[in-house]
């Protein structure tokens, strides 16, 4: 068992549904919220010594919680928030919301990352997922990353020494800080670009219900939303989970959806698209079960 005696001050007694944008989740054996990097490092070391998997949680906008077992779930929420500017470089803590990051950088006439406006994520989660939209991704602006590795060591690594792919990164550990090199832009232009992106998102995506964004990755050269729609699955409902009428790659929580409701929809979509289109859909969201 994970010896939480020395870690009692980090333990949070709360349901995981509070930490997922999908508003689904039950109890966790270990839900921890360290307040500094040194405590975070101790937790990771302890988890590693006990052979327990860790799960960093940022904005929770891509995590579907099921039975999390003995995973050590670590929130970034109580770490200190950092935002420092040096010329065109911004150093930011992983727990900052994307919206705050864009707004703060704008005050310094720095922009470029407006394409991720409207994503309800934190910087660390967005780096882990290499969040992207409108043919750009967050790694395009990344300069360096600081993270705690699985042995508890704090590592700083340059962007050029990292690999990023379609919602993937080579970093294994808990990201704590990052530096981005931004473009010099007027506040007016940043604001206009941000508003344009947000209005496009609201037009295309179902923001009126809890969701985790795109459920599946787009197969090469195809749009998964279109494939799901062509299979006649748009609007399909299991319990209180539904394949959104607005965008078929979003699964929404109509109220009291359960993990099983969402999981069943995922399986139906994968099986139907495989059968009708011969395409195997890969999950973009992280299903923790």
Ligand X SMILES: Cc1cc2nc3c(=O)[nH]c(=O)nc-3n(C[C@H](O)[C@H](O)[C@H](O)COP(=O)(O)OP(=O)(O)OC[C@H]3O[C@@H](n4cnc5c(N)ncnc54)[C@H](O)[C@@H]3O)c2cc1C
For binding to ligand X (CB under 6 A), which residues are involved? 21, 55-63, 76, 94, 119-122, 124-126, 128-129, 131-133, 174-175, 205, 207, 211-213, 286
Kindly name the residue from 20, 93, 214, 244 that is annotated as catalytic: 214
76 versus 261: smaller Cβ distance to ligand X: 76
Cβ 256 to ligand X, closest distance in Å? 18
By the 8 A CB rule, do 207 and 68 touch?
Answer: no
Instruction: Find where tokens 């319990």 sit.
Output: 239
Nearer to ligand X, 194 or 205 (CB): 205
Q: CA angle 121-28-172, nearest 5°?
A: 50
Measured from each CB, the residue nearest to ligand X is 125
Q: Considering beta carbons, is residue 195 or 274 the nearer one to ligand X?
A: 195
Specify whether 284 is catalytic: yes
The question of whether 280 is a catalytic residue gets the answer no
Residue 156 C-beta: closest distance to ligand X, Å = 14
Q: What angle do CA 219, 223, 227 make, to 5 degrees?
A: 95
Q: Order the strands of the 89-93 sheet from edge to edge.
A: 83-86, 89-93, 174-181, 142-148, 154-158
CB of 184 to ligand X, least distance (A): 25
- Alpha-carbon distances, residue 187 vs 101, 172, 244 (angstroms): 14, 36, 35
Name 195's Cβ contacts closer than 8 Å, sequence gap at least 6.
none
Q: Is the CB of 93 or the CB of 231 nearer to ligand X? A: 93
Selecting among 71, 167, 211, 244, the annotated active-site residue is 167
Q: How far apart are CA 233 and CA 275, in angstroms?
A: 13
- The least distance separating ligand X from the CB of residue 143, rounded to whole angstroms, comes to 17
Which residues does the annotation mark as catalytic?
Answer: 167, 214, 284
């Amino acid at each position: 068992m994970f010896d939480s005696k020395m870690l009692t001050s980090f333990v949070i007694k709360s349901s995981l549904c509070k930490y997922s944008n999908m508003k689904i989740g039950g109890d966790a054996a270990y839900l921890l919220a360290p307040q500094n990097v040194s405590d975070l490092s101790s937790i990771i070391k302890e988890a590693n010594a006990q052979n327990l998997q860790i799960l960093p949680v940022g904005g929770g906008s891509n995590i579907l919680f099921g039975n999390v077992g003995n995973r050590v779930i670590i929130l970034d929420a109580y770490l200190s928030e950092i935002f420092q500017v040096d010329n065109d470089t911004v150093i930011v803590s992983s727990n900052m919301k994307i919206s705050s990051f864009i707004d703060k950088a704008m005050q310094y006439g720095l922009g470029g990352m407006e394409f991720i406006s409207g994503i309800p994520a934190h910087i660390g989660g967005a780096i882990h997922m290499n969040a992207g939209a409108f043919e750009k991704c967050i790694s395009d602006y990344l300069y360096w990353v600081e993270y705690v590795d699985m042995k508890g060591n704090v590592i700083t690594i340059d962007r050029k020494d990292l690999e990023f792919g379609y919602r993937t990164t080579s970093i294994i550990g808990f990201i704590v800080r990052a530096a981005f090199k931004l473009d010099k832009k007027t506040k007016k232009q940043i604001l206009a670009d941000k508003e344009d992106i947000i209005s496009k998102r609201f037009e295309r995506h179902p923001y009126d219900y809890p969701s985790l964004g795109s459920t599946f990755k787009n197969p090469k050269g195809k749009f998964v939303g279109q494939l799901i729609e062509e299979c006649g699955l748009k609007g399909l409902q299991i319990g209180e989970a539904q394949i959104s009428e607005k965008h078929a790659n979003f699964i929404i929580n109509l109220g009291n959806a359960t993990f099983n409701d969402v999981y069943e929809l995922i399986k139906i979509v994968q099986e139907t698209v495989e059968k009708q289109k011969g395409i195997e859909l890969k999950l973009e969201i992280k299903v923790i079960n």
